[in-house]
Amino acid sequence: MLNRILKSLTSGSALLLCALCVFVSGCGQSEDASPEDMAASAARGEEKRLTIGLSQVGSESDWRMASTESVKAAFSSGAGYNLIFDDAQQKQENQLKAIREFIDQGVDYIILDPIVETGWDSVLSEAKEAGIPVIIYDRLIEVEDDSLYVCWIGSDFKLEGERACVWLKEYLDSRGVTRNINIVDIQGTLGASAQLGRTAALEEAVKENKNWRIIGRDTGEFTTAKGKEVMNQMLERYGSDINVVYAENDNMAYGAIEAMQNRGYKVGLDIDEEEFLVISFDATHNGLQLTLDEEIAENVECNPLYGPRLTEIIEALEAGKPVEKETFIDEEQFSCVSYIGTIQVRNRPYTVTHLTSELIEERVY
């Protein structure tokens, strides 16, 4: 601890000096105490409060709000952190600006949930030069030099999509549906890992299932309003030719369902009765309620509770322990259909949980 404080002092950390000054005056010591005296005082007192600069994607979805709540609670001042939180409003340029500001402020760690995968090399090189460790979570980044970040923790978005598509195949087979299946893909923010993975999985499944085809696709930017707008355009173009709506998150599914119902289309499980079958991702509280109501046929979880996972990483780094470079989190899958309990994806079994109202009540987001 003392070593770290002295090291920080010699590297001229303005933040630490301020913290020490406050600490010293609070203890009624002389204002002209030497840096060594101040460091020793701090060492006898409380741990240095870490300053975290966190760049969040935006507030586009229920998932995102839950994620923000989780990180804000974990990095609260009560938990001993100084959190500088920045909402980038779904614009990468805002994230680049925020990271540069974090560097100027001399934060201890930068935590980034990147809107898109590319375009991070320069700004992360600047963070590296400033000696600030960077942790990436949720979505991934693509950089030439992977030493630009300490570690990444997040979802396997492609696997989420694969699980959704295998379930759809099982479901159609179980109903003996062999006719052509016309799919509309309402995509997330283009270039975001959550979009790239889920779209790629659908494309692969369409190649494998000769009677499936994607008849329309557009980005709904992960929002309810845009999801509704895209679905309205698809309905104008394809009307009742649509069989399946693959909404790449819950909010776009809400918007799409509203658009279909406003135009008098039925949403449900019976494709042969001209019902539109909706697939969604996130498994938020509202998304699961719609799943229980059979408006969403299946919902693949994308877990937003990153706060405790991120503090665990920082605690490990502070203790000098090694951390995994890449960690995929485990996620669930839910359906209103009871008889598809397990599916095989990438040669391993995955459980599909039959949804009940009790499960939704227990849900924390």
For residue 312, give the amino acid letter: E
Near ligand AHR by CB under 6 A: residue from 13, 51, 61, 303: 61
Strands 50-56 and 109-112: parallel
- Of 11, 101, 79, the closest CA to residue 312 belongs to 79
Nearer to ligand AHR, 63 or 254 (CB): 63
Which residues partner with 278 through β-bridges? 245
Would you count residue 221 as binding ligand AHR (CB under 6 A)?
no
- Could you report how far apart the first and last alpha carbons of the chain are, in Å? 37
CA distance 134 to 143: 13
Would you count residue 60 as binding ligand AHR (CB under 6 A)?
yes
Would you count residue 254 as binding ligand AHR (CB under 6 A)?
no
Q: State the nearest-atom distance from the C-beta of 221 to ligand AHR, in Å.
A: 9
Would you count residue 152 as binding ligand AHR (CB under 6 A)?
no
Nearer to ligand AHR, 8 or 249 (CB): 249
CA 92 to chain centre: 15
| DSSP summary character for residue 330 | P
Contact 219, 248 (CB under 8 A): no
CA distance 358 to 293: 14
**Segment interacting with ligand AHR (CB under 6 A) among 30-38, 59-67, 163-171, 264-272:** 59-67
Nearer to ligand AHR, 85 or 265 (CB): 85
Q: State the nearest-atom distance from the C-beta of 207 to ligand AHR, in Å.
A: 24
Residue whose tokens read 């340029």: 93
Near ligand AHR by CB under 6 A: residue from 156, 185, 282, 295: 282
Nearer to ligand AHR, 64 or 163 (CB): 64
Nearer to ligand AHR, 160 or 275 (CB): 160
Q: State the nearest-atom distance from the C-beta of 32 to ligand AHR, in Å.
A: 51
CA distance 194 to 263: 29
Would you count residue 226 as binding ligand AHR (CB under 6 A)?
no
Would you count residue 185 as binding ligand AHR (CB under 6 A)?
no
Strands 181-187 and 244-247: parallel
Would you count residue 222 as binding ligand AHR (CB under 6 A)?
yes
Count residues binding ligand AHR (CB under 6 A). 12
CA distance 42 to 147: 32
Near ligand AHR by CB under 6 A: residue from 166, 168, 194, 231: 194
> Which positions from 103 through 142 interact with ligand AHR, judged by CB under 6 A?
138-139
CA distance 192 to 200: 12
Would you count residue 228 as binding ligand AHR (CB under 6 A)?
no
Which residues partner with 244 through β-bridges? 183, 277
H/E segment holding residue 214: strand 212-219
> Which positions from 17 through 56 interact with ligand AHR, judged by CB under 6 A?
none
For residue 279, give the amino acid letter: I
Would you count residue 63 as binding ligand AHR (CB under 6 A)?
yes
**For the window 293-312, what string marks contact with ligand AHR as x by the rule CB under 6 A?**
---------x----------
CA 140 to chain centre: 10
Near ligand AHR by CB under 6 A: residue from 64, 163, 226, 228: 64
Q: State the nearest-atom distance from the C-beta of 335 to ligand AHR, in Å.
A: 18
CA distance 295 to 287: 9
CA distance 171 to 244: 12
Binding region for ligand AHR (CB under 6 A) = 60-61, 63-64, 138-139, 194, 222, 249, 281-282, 302
